[in-house]
Structure 1
Amino acid sequence: MEPVTSTSYIVLGTALFMLLNSAALAVYAERRVAAFIQNRVGPNRVGPLGLLQPIADVVKLILKEDVTPAQGYKTLHAIAPIIPVVTALMTAAVIPFGEGLYATDINAGVLYLLAMTSLGVYGVTLAGWSSNSKYSLLGGLRAAAQMISYELPLGMAIASCILFSNSLSLVDVVDSQEYWWNIFRNPIGAVIFIVAAFAEANRTPFDLVEAEQELVGGFHTEYSSMKFGMFFLAEYMHVVIGSMLITTFFFGSYHLPFAGYWLPELSSTWQSVLDVSVFVTKTLLWVFIYIWVRWTIPRFKYNQVMKLGWKRLLPLSIINFIVLAVIIYAWNAFLG
């Protein structure tokens, strides 16, 4: 693990600031894209082009009464909304945003990342259980089952990327894509990871944990004011984090396509500007795809979600990992 320097603190602070504010921007973008897809106007009342609508939403949430169920578990009810936000923020510590632009390079950065993303399920599950409501409890149980089901293929898809980098460090994973992105070398793993990332974010078509038609609001039915706002914030932060991870593992992170073949050496300042611009552009593209999919594909049935995870993605991810391992071993043994 590299020592933490002043540059690391600056990178981490900037990343956390942008991540917290990205939720407000993603909410506005979602409403605009949804309005375009559905052929309607979208937010246009608060501020020019409705740009102040996210601020109005925050003010509304702050002014609402904070209600806690009388028969609920008050301590856990208050803690639950904090967990998914904190776990989303903690993942930013190991994501490289450019050459040398990362908070820290942990040798087991991939394991750290998987650990942090898997902890988010505790917030949703505890929220459903502590509310002492059948609708909330069912939403929490669905969340636990769904996240466990898709953690496995997601982890196997990441493991297939590690075969190319031969390292658990995210910096090494990114460096291994300087010439060839993993989407070209491992397209099946990319599809598995993207589907699993959508499911982990609890977004349509995988939003069974909320399912307004049958669960009212799911795990956050008994939440109001800024406690509900924390869940709202966490959802969009996970969308942004998911977009960052898709970019990092399969789309070359801050590398341009085949950059090692044609991109000349630049000064450190211009290289940093280029790296961050490329990374942010790719991330924003995937945030748009998250929104696009939500307003295009209807919600799956619960048995379809479980079948897709256990009977389709998990066996496919294992087979993909084994085939890639054999190919890479044979390549290194006979041609390396």
Structure 2
Amino acid sequence: MIYLADPTLADFGKDPLWITIIKAVLLFVFLMLCVLFGVWFERKLISRMQNRIGPNRAGKFGLLQSVADGLKMGLKEDLFPRTVDKVVYLLAPVIMVVPAFLAFSIVPFGPMVNLFGVQTPLQLVDLPVAVLFMLAMGAISVYGVVLAGWSSRSPYALLGGLRSAAQVVSYEIAMGLSFVGVFLFAGTLSTSEIVHAQASGGEVFGIPMPSWYVVLLLPSFLIFVICGFGEAARIPFDLPEGEGELVGGFQTEYSSSLKFALIMMGEYLHTFTASAMAITLFLGGWRAPFPISWWSGANEGWWPLLWFFIKFVLVFCFVVWVRASLPRVRYDQLMALGWKVLIPLNLAWIMLVAVVRTVMYVRDGTFEGGSLPLVMVIAAIVLLGALGIWARFDTVNQRRKEAAKAQVEAEYEELRSEPTAGGFPVPPLDLPHYHGVQHKEVSSGTN
């Protein structure tokens, strides 16, 4: 099923300048409202999960609490520690926020609409490499975190910045690989055309069904979700802000002023960007969910904006649910998951998807049809091979753990039989001679 209202790359770059300015202002206002009410919504939802009340003083249901906090941080005195590099110290929060706003500019909110008499796509801008642009903006924002830690001239802040750099590099590779399956199915890196590629998955009893990539590429979606938490530094991967071991992370030397508000805003914007990309790449974008998609006008006009917002809220609820449920992992576990699990699993899955797409390719240059039994045989061989490799390495790891456990138990038995073994020598307390000096025993009642 093809929707005539779907925008393409040819529809961008034709808007009058005033329409582009209006769309940019509306996008900025939308993101600012998302930050304000996202903080309130997260606090309220977590409080309900933990049987608390949450913010309820400022405004009805506490809706103005985030507004009051923002005004407080904006009006507080702006303090500078004596040893900071002031230029970089001020520039770091800006570097964190601006790329997050730019990354949201390629998110499609809906089809072609009539805005003040002008036919325009409900999207600020689109590029032939729009998804790569989003990844680039996420990488640039890391400079803000690293510079915030370095300019503070504090060892704890510097450690937090270095943690964030290592974490983002690790999980950005896996995130980029999770997009490859989408590119192979959609045949493009444009966000609007990726949404268009998920328009129809065939018909069941004459009814068009959606073809969301979350169904076709479930492993890619799960890997992207995990990498999204790592990229946005959200629990359980908020190691750059590990206050248990770093006091406060890279923002330790930033007081509760406008600079701290910008840092918090950047973190929420990265979370919103990851949520919007999950919707665009895997959840059909602005298209209506099943069974609303049966309605012929569900994906036309301004209705898709409502479907996108509903998906956006549900994905953010999942992010909050994870924060309220899972503890923070150790740093070695975080790095091992990124390099030893997600990246190899991604490469194996990409190989499987590429093989399936190649087998389904027929002579006329389309991906319609193919030999399904052959595809299943190849998929079974690849799956069994991956399971065999995993079982082999899992056996090796298990033997290594058992050897380490046996060594620890042997050391424990040695220490229990001889307390001074492996440690510092303890002077004996029951001998009359010590360092060549003879001590006379003093009996009670003698001088």
TM-score w.r.t. structure 2 length? 0.72
2-structure distance, mates of 1:155, 1:191? 13
Contact 2:289–2:307 (8 Å) recurs in 1: no
2:271 is aligned to 239
Percent of aligned pairs with the same amino acid:
39
1-structure distance, mates of 2:37, 2:323? 17
How far off its partner does 1:8 sit?
Answer: 4.1
Contact 1:131–1:222 (8 Å) recurs in 2: yes
User: Which deviations, in whole Å up to 9, do the C-alpha atoms of 1:19-54 show, x marking residues without a partner?
Assistant: 122111110011101111111111111122111111
Name which structure has the greater RCO, CA cutoff 8 Å, separation 6+. 1
1-structure distance, mates of 2:312, 2:188? 23
How far off its partner does 1:300 sit?
Answer: 0.3
Q: Which amino acid aligns with 2:215?
A: F
The number of residues matched between the two structures is 333
Matched position secondary structure for 2:301: helix
Contact 2:240–2:250 (8 Å) recurs in 1: yes
TM-score w.r.t. structure 1 length? 0.95
User: Which deviations, in whole Å up to 9, do the C-alpha atoms of 1:57-84 show, x marking residues without a partner?
Assistant: 0122123222222112110000000112
Matched position secondary structure for 1:164: helix
How far off its partner does 1:258 sit?
Answer: 6.2
How far off its partner does 1:256 sit?
Answer: 2.4
Contact 1:162–1:168 (8 Å) recurs in 2: yes
User: Which deviations, in whole Å up to 9, do the C-alpha atoms of 1:82-130 show, x marking residues without a partner?
Assistant: 1121011001221111112111221111221111121111110110011
1-structure distance, mates of 2:306, 2:32? 19
Matched position secondary structure for 2:199: coil
2:107 is aligned to 95
User: Which deviations, in whole Å up to 9, do the C-alpha atoms of 1:202-252 show, x marking residues without a partner?
Assistant: 111011000111111100000121101101111111121111111111100
Change (3 A) 1:259 1:4: farther
1:204 is aligned to 235
Matched position secondary structure for 2:77: coil
Aligned pairs for 1:98-117 within 5 A: 98-99=110-111, 100-117=121-138
2:150 is aligned to 129
RMSD: 1.7
Aligned pairs for 1:62-77 within 5 A: 62-77=74-89
Equivalent position to 1:291, from 320, 342, 350: 320
Contact 2:195–2:281 (8 Å) recurs in 1: yes
2:309 is aligned to 280
Matched position secondary structure for 1:23: helix
2:67 is aligned to 55
Q: Which amino acid aligns with 2:233?
A: N
User: Which deviations, in whole Å up to 9, do the C-alpha atoms of 1:139-180 show, x marking residues without a partner?
Assistant: 000000000000001001112111111011111111111120
2-structure distance, mates of 1:42, 1:111? 39
Equivalent position to 2:212, from 181, 205, 208: 181
Q: Which amino acid aligns with 2:315?
A: W
2-structure distance, mates of 1:81, 1:25? 21
2-structure distance, mates of 1:299, 1:261? 39
Q: Which stretches of structure 1, 4 residues or longer, exceed 6 Å deviation after superposition?
A: 258-261
Matched position secondary structure for 1:150: helix
Change (3 A) 1:265 1:31: closer
How far off its partner does 1:260 sit?
Answer: 11
1:3 aligns with 2:35: no
Contact 2:241–2:249 (8 Å) recurs in 1: yes
Unaligned runs of 5+ in 1: none
Change (3 A) 1:12 1:322: farther
The structure in which a higher percent of residues are helix is 1
1-structure distance, mates of 2:14, 2:84? 42
Unaligned runs of 5+ in 2: 1-8, 112-120, 201-210, 364-368, 371-447
Equivalent position to 1:141, from 148, 153, 162: 162
1-structure distance, mates of 2:102, 2:333? 32
2-structure distance, mates of 1:294, 1:260? 31
Contact 2:103–2:138 (8 Å) recurs in 1: yes
Matched position secondary structure for 1:68: coil
Matched position secondary structure for 2:161: helix
2:393 is aligned to none
2-structure distance, mates of 1:185, 1:231? 37
